[in-house]
């Protein structure tokens, strides 16, 4: 495969990764890593390094648009980033000592869990009033609805959400996926935050989480500019496209199905190849 063909494939794949990451809060890593490892045969450590760079790019490309539209809960995101950053550093430090087959299988298991959890919730459940701790920390907020009105929401189970974010940070450092999937699950299912707010706040957070773990991969020499450059360009373009779509989307149910179908397929491929030693 020539360098030009290799770069074009990465560009196209990264664009769709950025689009999906922006719409669902995943960060794009769930597509980038299987693309590089399964299709192009890149070592998984270099794939994770490129994925972390793409996660930072996705966050930069879409988070600004969501903040401008008033959907992102900035205060909540900055509070939860404390947990994810600590977890990301821990995960990145131990990732280099784990065999690649185990990383691939763990990657697949986490994604399947995320897909199942995203479909369990049948309808939007908005908490009217925040719990005591959420009120003290002022983590509640509002976001613009489809008809222009402001929809207010509360936040619950702050401790459970914070602990889940710590775990999400460790997974981010291990797998290079930005842990957007687990962040959305934590905010959407545990903290009862509306899906639009959880995905946009996840996009706001994943850049910081990925940057923390990317430093470790950079020091280990696992971030290759030849791979990372087309990944960043494609992901940023895809993230910008996704942010424009999500802002004008009235229903988030179809996002959950896109999320579940894509992740389940990619997860099964990663598990299969990991168990058979093809990665």
| CA atoms of 155 and 129, how far apart (whole Å) | 7
pLDDT range class, residue 197, cuts 50, 70, 90 = confident
What would the pLDDT profile of 198-242 be if each residue is shown by its tens digit? 878 887 887 787 888 888 888 889 899 999 999 989 888 887 788
> Which residues on neighbouring strands pair with residue 98, listed in sequence order?
none
pLDDT range class, residue 8, cuts 50, 70, 90 = very high
Q: How crowded is residue 101: how many other Cβ atoms within 10 Å of its Cβ? A: 16
| CA atoms of 264 and 103, how far apart (whole Å) | 17
Q: What is the pLDDT of residue 25?
A: 60
DSSP string for residues in 238-276: HHHHHHHHHHT-S--HHHHHHHHHHHHHHHHHHHHHHHT
* Helix spans in the chain (H): 3-24, 29-34, 44-69, 74-95, 100-120, 132-137, 158-175, 180-185, 195-219, 225-247, 253-275
Checking if the pLDDT of 139 tops 80, the result is: yes
| CA atoms of 32 and 176, how far apart (whole Å) | 10
What 3-state DSSP class applies to 79?
A: helix
> Which residues on neighbouring strands pair with residue 142, listed in sequence order?
152
Q: What is the pLDDT of residue 125?
A: 59
Q: What is the pLDDT of residue 26?
A: 61
């Amino acid at each position: 495969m020539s360098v030009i063909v290799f770069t074009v494939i990465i560009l196209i794949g990264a664009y769709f990764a950025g689009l999906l990451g922006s719409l669902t809060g995943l960060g794009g890593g769930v597509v980038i890593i299987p693309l590089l490892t399964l299709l192009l045969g890149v070592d998984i450590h270099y794939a994770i390094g490129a994925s972390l760079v793409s996660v930072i790019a996705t966050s930069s490309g879409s988070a600004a648009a969501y903040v401008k539209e008033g959907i992102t809960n900035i205060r909540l995101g900055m509070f939860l980033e404390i947990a994810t950053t600590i977890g990301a550093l821990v995960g990145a430090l131990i990732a280099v000592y784990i065999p690649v087959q185990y990383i691939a299988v763990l990657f697949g298991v986490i994604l399947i869990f995320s897909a199942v959890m995203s479909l369990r919730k049948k309808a939007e459940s908005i908490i009217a009033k925040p719990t005591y701790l959420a009120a003290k920390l002022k983590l509640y907020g509002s976001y613009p609805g489809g008809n222009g009105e402001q929809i207010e929401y509360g936040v619950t189970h702050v401790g459970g959400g914070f602990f889940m974010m710590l775990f999400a940070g460790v997974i981010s450092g291990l797998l290079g996926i930005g842990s957007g999937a687990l962040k959305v699950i934590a905010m959407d299912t545990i903290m009862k935050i509306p899906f639009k707010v959880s995905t946009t706040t996840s996009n706001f957070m994943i850049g910081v989480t990925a940057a923390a773990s990317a430093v470790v991969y950079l020091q280990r020499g696992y971030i290759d500019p030849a791979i990372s450059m087309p990944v960043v360009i494609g992901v940023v373009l895809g993230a910008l496209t996704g942010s424009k779509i999500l802002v004008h989307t009235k229903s988030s149910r179809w996002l959950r199905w896109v999320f579940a179908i894509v992740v389940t397929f990619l997860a099964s491929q990663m598990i299969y190849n990991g168990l058979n030693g093809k990665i």
